[in-house]
């Protein structure tokens, strides 16, 4: 019943898109998928997979319901490094083998899989296996985990890696529901972006159902030595035993965050909200897999100062998972809106001072990125062609997107803008939309209702021009102004008063130290504040980066250890980038990298090899 209802919603969404602009339907614009959603779409998936840790392979079947929009007799799926054993169609109540063909390999898109589906079939079933090098999976041996008892594996499907672990119409313009059956070695627990049991029997057989239609990049899987600990009735943490208590303590505010977000933007529509702690090699800070966000352990800092990351992944339950970018050119609709909502959640729970500090840190990251990016890559509605979205990942969709929404809030007033956003989430719930659709909606529901406040020219400048508009908000934190004042005093020999500083102030302090700081002063700071040994991964990162620039030798061993134990790309790649600037450091970095590589995720490997071996 629930599924039928959602299929109806999906169909409705499709009709709206097609009739609104038949020639520029959202999926026709997704240059990163071979799918032809306007011919046949796949509203439901059933997975049956064996997780084979010895072979580093997922093996089994993917079965799709077919929804025909015309008389096409072929289905086009995305794949990457998959072995396709057999394809079948369901006709007249029985499975029947059918022909398929794999296209040439495209470096960023993978391979098109074309399956003959005839005119009558209702389902298609693909028997397949993944490659050990699948770009969307990481396989860890027991030795690479904390307890060393069980292996661990996890997926990271966004943006276009779902196709490396299942044949799929891998475009965010698609929405589908799914059921899954997973087989693991006994004693391990498998979880998915679906309904996870809180008291699972660890018998090696797990079944899942995701009844709400989501986009392919949100299908997720992980398996390992996982325990469960509840924070509240609707929030629990899944983690390896070593960190489960710490993580549950760190994220105790999550239920309050859900309540605060619902008050601003409407109901949380995904039933439970659970958090999964990944191994330190997880390449991102977090990933908003529906019902089960995947989170790096590097934010379990012991002082709850990095929980904006949880606010961020939770915010995606509205911006991203409920209203979804139709293509990767529209990613700012996911990340910009989410960064804005994240900051509103932080303000609601912890007040303006902390929210503004976080805005200011993001703003600085944006300015840093913009100074090294080509102007065309600082556009919100970015021109990607068939470039891999991973290759152009930056703070632009996040922070420039957030600044745009802050700008609209400032111009229209908070009350008006809040009700606009809330309505937006309702009107596009469970739909995928393009930048053009958003602009049309904005024009009709905000600009036209409050004339002469913001022009469409201004909106177009934000969305289609490089850099920042002259009148863009410039987040400025009083707390940080105090930090800067103190720093000036300290540089002249005075004392620092840091008793009430949190991670935020420390990050700002380290990031704004003068680049000509003497090694004597570096040493003095380190002795007093133990930056080199900081167990806060963000503070250690900022300090280690400065240490590379300043050739501060006492931090070398810590730097080596850091690069060998953490694989979160945002923390790792700026260090390799800095090291690559001098020949001696580059040589050292390549040695460390080769040692670290077996523990890095495929994404972390790709990005950092491009920095360390640019000639390849």
Residues designated as active site = 313, 398
Q: Which residue shows structure tokens 């996890």?
A: 154
Q: Which C-beta is closer to ligand BES: that of 69 or that of 388?
A: 388
User: Considering beta carbons, is residue 111 or 293 the nearer one to ligand BES?
Assistant: 293
Choose the one of ligand BES, Zn ion, none that binds residue 285, judging by a C-beta under 5 to 8 angstroms depending on kind. ligand BES
Q: Does 538 bind ligand BES (CB under 6 A)?
A: no
Q: Which residues pair with 110 in a beta bridge?
A: 106
Taking CB under 5 A as the binding criterion, the range among 205-213, 248-256, 327-335, 608-616 that sits at the site for Zn ion is: 327-335
Report the partner that residue 309 touches, choosing among ligand BES, Zn ion, none (CB closer than 5 to 8 A by kind): ligand BES
Cα–Cα dist 390/405, whole Å: 24
Judge whether 587 and 570 are in contact, CB under 8 Å.
no
Give the separation between CA 386 and CA 501, rounded to whole angstroms. 45
In angstroms, give the least distance from the CB of 569 to ligand BES. Answer: 8
Give dist(CA 461, CA 210) in Å, integer.
39
To the nearest whole angstrom, how small is the minimum distance from the Cβ of residue 445 to ligand BES?
26
Q: Is 287 in the site for ligand BES (CB under 6 A)?
A: yes
Cα 340 from Cα 360, distance rounded (Å): 13
Per-residue x/- track, 283-322, Zn ion (CB under 5 A): ----------------------------------------
Cβ nearer to Zn ion, comparing 138 with 338 = 338
Count of positions on this chain that bind ligand BES (CB under 6 A): 15
Q: How many CB atoms lie within 10 A of CB 309?
A: 18
- Pair 616, 608: CB distance under 8 Å: no
CB closer to ligand BES out of 167 and 320: 320
User: Is residue 225 within 8 Å of residue 208, measured between CB atoms?
Assistant: no
Q: How far is the CB of 422 from ligand BES (least distance, A)?
A: 21
- The position carrying tokens 């509840």 is 230
**DSSP H or E run through 38:** none
Q: What DSSP line would sit under 341-362, residue for residue?
A: HHHHHHHHHH-HHHHHHHHHHH
State which of residues 312, 400, 508, 541 lies at the interface with ligand BES (CB under 6 A): 312
Min dist CB 312 to Zn ion, Å, is 6
Q: Are strands 83-91 and 123-129 parallel, antiparallel or unpaired?
A: antiparallel
Let me know: does 453 contact 447? Beta carbons within 8 Å.
yes
The answer to whether 215 contacts ligand BES (rule: CB under 6 A) is no
When asked if residue 330 is in the footprint of ligand BES (CB under 6 A), the reply is no
63 binds, among Zn ion, ligand BES, none (CB under 5 to 8 A by kind): none
- Asked if residue 158 binds ligand BES (CB under 6 A), the reply is yes
Q: Compute the distance between CA of residue 155 and CA of residue 592 in angstroms, rounded to an integer.
A: 25
Decide if 412 contacts 450 (C-beta within 8 A).
yes
| Contact stretch for ligand BES (CB under 6 A) within 203-211, 224-232, 281-289, 455-463 | 281-289
Beta bridge partners of 114: 76, 101
Q: Please, are residues 192 and 60 in contact by the beta-carbon 8 Å criterion?
A: no
Is residue 40 close enough to count as binding ligand BES by CB under 6 A?
Answer: no
Q: Does 87 bind ligand BES (CB under 6 A)?
A: no
Nearest CB to ligand BES, comparing residues 309 and 540: 309
Residues 551-580 that bind ligand BES (CB under 6 A): 570
Helix %, strand %, coil % of the chain (to 5):
45, 20, 35
What does 395 bind: Zn ion, ligand BES, none (CB cut-off 5 to 8 Å by kind)? none
Among 128, 284, 430, 480, binds ligand BES (CB under 6 A): 284
Applying CB under 6 A, among 313, 358, 369, 526 the residue interacting with ligand BES is: 313
Query: Site map for Zn ion, 336-375, x if CB under 5 A?
Result: --x-------------------------------------
175 contributes a contact to ligand BES by CB under 6 A = no
Q: Which two tokens stand for residue 171?
A: 């475009």
SS3 6: helix
286 binds ligand BES (CB under 6 A): yes
Instruction: Give the one entry of ligand BES, Zn ion, none that residue 57 binds, where binding means its C-beta sits below a cut-off of 5 to 8 angstroms depending on kind.
Output: none
Q: Give me the phi and psi of 87, to 5 degrees please.
A: -125, 140
Q: Does 288 bind ligand BES (CB under 6 A)?
A: yes
Residue span 395-434 as binding mask against ligand BES, x where in contact by CB under 6 A, dash where not:
---x------------------------------------
* Residue number closest to ligand BES, CB atom: 285
* Calpha distance 335→381 (Å, rounded): 12
Partner in contact with 396, chosen from ligand BES, Zn ion, none, beta carbon below 5 to 8 Å by kind: none
Sole window of 18-26, 48-56, 94-102, 309-317 interacting with ligand BES (rule: CB under 6 A): 309-317
398's enclosing H/E stretch is none
Choosing from 277, 309, 361, 540, the residue that interacts with ligand BES (CB under 6 A) is 309
Work out whether 335 is an interface residue with ligand BES (CB under 6 A). Answer: yes
Structure tokens at 133: 């090098």
Using CB under 6 A as the binding rule, whether residue 329 contacts ligand BES is answered as no
Map residue 32 onto helix, strand or coil. coil
Instruction: Using only the alpha carbons of the chain, give its radius of gyration.
Output: 24
Q: Does 298 bind ligand BES (CB under 6 A)?
A: no
286 or 475: CB nearest ligand BES: 286
598: CB partners within 8 A, 6+ apart: none
User: Could you tell me which residues are beta bridge partners of residue 52?
Assistant: 57
Q: Is the peptide bond before 399 cis (omega within 30 degrees of 0)?
A: no
Task: Report in angstroms the alpha-carbon separations of 605 from 106, 135, 273, 543.
Answer: 19, 10, 31, 23
| Chosen from Zn ion, ligand BES, none, partner binding at 340 (C-beta under 5 to 8 Å by type) | none
219 vs 555, beta carbon nearer ligand BES: 219
Q: Which stretch binds Zn ion (CB under 5 A): 277-285, 328-336, 388-396, 469-477?
A: 328-336
Q: What is the rounded CA–CA span in Å between residue 404 and residue 463?
A: 9
Q: Which secondary structure element, helix H or strand E, spans residue 239, and what is its range?
A: strand 236-239
**Binding at 225: pick from Zn ion, ligand BES, none (beta carbon under 5-8 Å per type):** none
Q: Is residue 42 within 8 Å of residue 453, measured between CB atoms?
A: no
Subset of 501-530 contacting ligand BES (CB under 6 A): none
The DSSP symbol for 273 reads: -
The length of the chain is 616
Residues of this chain that bind ligand BES (CB under 6 A): 158-159, 284-288, 308-309, 312-313, 316, 335, 398, 570
Residues of this chain that bind Zn ion (CB under 5 A): 335, 338
């Amino acid at each position: 019943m629930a599924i039928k209802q959602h299929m109806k919603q999906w169909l409705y969404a499709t009709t709206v898109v097609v009739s609104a602009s038949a020639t520029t339907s959202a999926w026709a614009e997704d240059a990163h998928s071979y799918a032809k959603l306007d011919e046949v779409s796949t509203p439901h998936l059933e997975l049956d997979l064996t997780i084979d840790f010895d072979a580093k392979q997922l093996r089994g079947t993917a079965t799709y319901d077919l929804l025909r929009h015309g008389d096409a007799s072929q289905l086009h799926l995305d794949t990457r490094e998959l072995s396709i054993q057999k394809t079948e169609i369901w006709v007249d109540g029985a499975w029947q083998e059918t022909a398929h063909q794999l296209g040439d390999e495209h470096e960023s898109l993978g391979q098109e899989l074309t399956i003959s589906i005839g005119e009558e079939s209702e389902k298609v079933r693909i028997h397949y296996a993944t490659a050990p090098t699948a770009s969307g999976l990481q396989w860890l041996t027991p030795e690479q985990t904390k307890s060393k008892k069980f292996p661990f594996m996890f997926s990271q499907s966004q943006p276009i890696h779902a196709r490396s672990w299942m044949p799929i119409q891998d475009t965010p313009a698609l929405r589908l529901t799914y059921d899954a059956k997973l087989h693991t070695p006994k004693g391990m627990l498998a979880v998915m972006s679906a309904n996870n049991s809180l008291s699972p029997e660890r018998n090696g057989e797990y079944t899942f159902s995701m009844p709400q239609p989501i986009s392919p990049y949100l299908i997720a899987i992980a398996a390992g030595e996982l325990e469960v600990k509840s924070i509240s009735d609707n929030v629990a943490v899944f983690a390896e035993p070593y960190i489960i208590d710490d993580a549950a303590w760190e994220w105790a505010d999550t239920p309050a965050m859900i309540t605060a977000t619902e008050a601003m933007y409407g109901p949380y529509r995904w039933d439970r909200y659970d958090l999964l702690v990944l191994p330190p090699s997880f390449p991102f800070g977090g990933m908003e897999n529906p019902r089960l966000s995947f989170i790096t352990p590097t934010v379990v800092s012991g002082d709850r100062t990095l929980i904006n990351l949880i606010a961020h992944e939770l915010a995606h339950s509205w911006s991203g998972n409920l209203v979804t970018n139709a293509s990767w050119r529209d990613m700012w609709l996911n990340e910009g809106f989410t960064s804005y909502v994240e900051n509103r959640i932080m303000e609601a729970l912890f007040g303006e001072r902390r929210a503004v500090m976080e805005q200011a840190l993001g703003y600085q990251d944006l300015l840093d990125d913009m100074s090294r990016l080509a102007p065309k890559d600082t556009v919100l509605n970015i021109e990607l062609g068939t470039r891999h979205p991973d290759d152009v990942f930056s703070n632009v969709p996040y922070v420039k997107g957030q600044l745009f929404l802050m700008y609209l809030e400032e111009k229209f007033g908070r009350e008006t803008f809040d009700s606009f956003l809330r309505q937006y989430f309702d009107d596009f719930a469970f739909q995928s939309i393009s930048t053009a659709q958003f602009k049309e909606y904005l024009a009709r529901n905000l600009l036209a209702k409050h004339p002469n406040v913001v022009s469409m020219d201004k909106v177009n400048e934000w969305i289609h021009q490089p850099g920042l508009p002259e009148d863009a908000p410039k987040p400025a934190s009083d707390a940080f102004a105090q930090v800067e004042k103190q720093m000036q005093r300290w540089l002249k020999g005075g004392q620092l008063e840091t008793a009430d500083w949190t991670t935020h102030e420390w990050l700002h302090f380290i990031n704004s130290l003068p680049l000509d700081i003497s090694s004597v002063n570096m040493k003095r700071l380190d002795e007093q504040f133990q930056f080199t040994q900081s167990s806060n991964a963000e503070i250690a990162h900022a300090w280690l980066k400065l240490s590379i620039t300043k050739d501060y030798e006492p931090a070398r061993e810590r730097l080596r250890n850091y690069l060998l134990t953490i694989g979160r790309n945002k923390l790792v790649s700026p260090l390799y980038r800095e090291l690559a600037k001098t020949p001696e450091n580059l040589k050292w970095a390549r040695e460390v990298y080769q040692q670290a590589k077996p523990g890095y995720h495929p994404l972390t490997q790709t990005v950092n090899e491009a920095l360390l071996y640019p000639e390849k």
